[in-house]
Amino acid sequence: MRGKVIPQNEMKLVIPSRSANESFARAAVAAFMAQLDPTVEEMTDIKTAVSEAVTNCIVHAYRDTIGKIWIEAGIYDDGRIVVQIKDKGCGIPDVAQARQPLFTTGGSERAGLGFAVMESFTDRMTVRSAVGKGTTVTLEKRVAQRYRHDG
């Protein structure tokens, strides 16, 4: 068991679950991540994963209402960015089932690939959820360190 690692920098954002805020959330996390000097591909990966997580909050967690989405991001000395997207919506009754590709509660227009996409674009993804209390998705991505700055 390792001790709690403290981020070298962090940000917090709270937005209403409106469709217009999905692109804002993606851009905010990307702007924060820029300090790691990521490649275009690394940046695109995290933006895509954040978009999927925020869209899940909008479409599933707060189905017919507007709620709050909390986004926290931390940057660590080893080049990792960890992004947590949290809602206090309806929750997921069966997380394992929800993580299966093509499973959706969003109707026929939804592909059911959100978690699969998040997982494929990050190094690690965890999902915690409780029915009636909400869901927290944690995304982790390591950015390649292309140069060494030894002070």
Where are the domains positioned within the chain? 9-142
pTM, entire model: 0.86
Q: Any catalytic annotation for residue 110?
A: yes
pLDDT at 105 (0 to 100): 56
For residue 22, indicate whether it is catalytic.
Answer: no
Kindly state the average pLDDT of the residues 9-32.
Answer: 97
Query: Within 10 Å of residue 76's Cβ, how many Cβ atoms?
Result: 17
Kindly state the average pLDDT of the residues 63-77. 95
Residue 103 scores a pLDDT above 60:
no
Where are the alpha helices (H) located in the chain, listed in sequence order?
A: 20-33, 40-56, 95-98, 114-121
> First-to-last CA distance in the chain?
31
Higher pLDDT, 105 or 131: 131
Please say if the pLDDT value at position 151 is more than 50.
Answer: no
| Contact by Cβ (8 Å): 22, 54 | yes
Catalytic choice (80, 110, 128, 142)? 110
- Which residue out of 21, 22, 26, 52 is catalytically annotated? 52
The CATH architecture of the domain made up of 9-142 is: 2-Layer Sandwich (3.30)
Of 22, 26, 42, 56, the catalytic one is 56
| pLDDT of 3 over the 70 cut | no
pLDDT of residue 66: 96
